[in-house]
């Protein structure tokens, strides 16, 4: 009599061709809306820091995929993701329950506009993010190339509540304690966390903080200047629109992979 198929064989048989199935290594929950996880990186999987990939899970017999920024830098042996938990979400209602040892699917081709190649050389790089929009920047701030191209890197992260900022603080600490990154980054990286719905030392939407000039005063830098400043924006559709308008008003022009310029944008989610 044949031995019964092992669970792994059953799962493997359902995984679509041409898709990676990687093993979850760790999961960390921050709030009831946010978590991060790390998984194995397939041999031969290449990406540029800041890009996104389609990741998914088998839900019943069908794979469900969503776009996810790769939060780890391109040199990392593992892949990291920072995720929302949407209660009835087709993917994240399941993804939020993953445990080490589980399999996550990933399509083979990463892509995206939040890459260093899409910017012309400058002196100071601003990364404007809200919520999970910090994910592509989690990759870029851990990539030595970012500090080769820019003298100063400013990461702004705006959330509703203070607890939602924790991933950003953990990243800063990781960099400070990292054997080689700490030396490369030195004091070039500035973190500017702001909150919109709770009292906090830095409060309000990033566009309001730029309009009033408070962001620049707090950081001790001059207002935006297209000769030296570059920008990357990742957040909700409304945040992208307002931040883009402010950068354009300041004289910066939007770029793309095919036409590098002074700033680039990408939606953190559709909706």
Ligand X SMILES: Cc1cc2nc3c(=O)[nH]c(=O)nc-3n(C[C@H](O)[C@H](O)[C@H](O)COP(=O)(O)OP(=O)(O)OC[C@H]3O[C@@H](n4cnc5c(N)ncnc54)[C@H](O)[C@@H]3O)c2cc1C
Q: Which residues contact ligand X by CB under 6 A?
A: 52, 66-69, 81-84, 86, 89-93, 131-132, 135, 266-271
User: How many C-beta atoms surround the C-beta of residue 122 within 10 A?
Assistant: 21
110 versus 122: smaller Cβ distance to ligand X: 110
DSSP-derived 3-state class of residue 238: helix
* Residue 78 CA, distance from chain mean position: 15
Closest separation between CB of residue 81 and ligand X, Å?
6
71 versus 224: smaller Cβ distance to ligand X: 71
Q: What is the dihedral of CA 158, 163, 169, 170, to 10 degrees?
A: -130
Closest separation between CB of residue 85 and ligand X, Å?
8
Closest separation between CB of residue 93 and ligand X, Å?
6
64 versus 224: smaller Cβ distance to ligand X: 64
Closest separation between CB of residue 208 and ligand X, Å?
20
5 versus 238: smaller Cβ distance to ligand X: 238
33 versus 103: smaller Cβ distance to ligand X: 33
* Token pair recorded at residue 231: 């920008």
Closest separation between CB of residue 63 and ligand X, Å?
12
* Token pair recorded at residue 176: 């400070």
Distance from C-alpha of 156 to C-alpha of 192, rounded to nearest angstrom: 5
Q: Evaluate whether 53 touches 64 at the Cβ level (below 8 Å).
A: no
Residue with tokens 């999987």: 45
Distance from C-alpha of 75 to C-alpha of 47, rounded to nearest angstrom: 9
89 versus 144: smaller Cβ distance to ligand X: 89
Residues forming a β-bridge with 57: 64
Closest separation between CB of residue 100 and ligand X, Å?
19
Nearest-CB residue to ligand X? Answer: 89
Exposure on the CB side of residue 73, measured as CA atoms within 13 A: 14
Distance from C-alpha of 211 to C-alpha of 97, rounded to nearest angstrom: 41
Distance from C-alpha of 40 to C-alpha of 22, rounded to nearest angstrom: 6
Question: DSSP assignment, residue 221?
Answer: -
Closest separation between CB of residue 223 and ligand X, Å?
29
12 versus 97: smaller Cβ distance to ligand X: 97
* Token pair recorded at residue 101: 């040892």
């Amino acid at each position: 009599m044949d031995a019964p198929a092992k669970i792994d064989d059953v799962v493997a048989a359902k995984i679509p061709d041409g898709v990676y199935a990687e093993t979850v290594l760790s999961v960390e929950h921050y709030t009831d809306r946010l978590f991060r996880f790390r998984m194995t990186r397939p041999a031969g999987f290449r990406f540029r820091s800041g890009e996104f990939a389609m990741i998914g899970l088998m839900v019943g017999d069908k794979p469900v995929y969503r776009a996810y920024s790769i939060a780890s830098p391109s040199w990392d042996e593992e892949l990291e993701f920072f995720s929302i938990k949407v209660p009835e979400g087709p993917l994240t209602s399941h993804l939020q329950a993953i445990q080490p040892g589980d399999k996550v699917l990933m399509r083979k081709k990463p892509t995206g506009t939040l890459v260093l190649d899409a910017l012309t050389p400058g002196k100071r790089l601003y990364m404007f993010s809200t919520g999970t929009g910090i994910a592509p920047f989690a990759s870029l701030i851990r990539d030595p190339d970012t500090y080769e191209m820019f003298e100063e890197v400013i990461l702004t992260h705006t959330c509703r509540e203070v607890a939602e900022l924790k991933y950003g603080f953990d990243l800063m600490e990781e960099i400070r304690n990292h054997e080689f990154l700490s030396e490369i980054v030195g004091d070039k990286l500035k973190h500017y966390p702001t909150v919109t719905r709770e009292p906090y030392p830095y409060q309000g939407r990033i566009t309001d903080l730029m309009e009033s000039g408070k962001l620049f005063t707090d950081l001790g830098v001059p207002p935006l200047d297209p000769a030296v400043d570059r920008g990357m924006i990742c957040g909700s559709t409304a945040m992208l629109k307002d931040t883009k308008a402010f950068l354009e008003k300041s004289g910066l022009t939007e770029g793309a992979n095919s036409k590098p310029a002074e700033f680039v944008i990408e939606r953190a989610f559709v909706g």
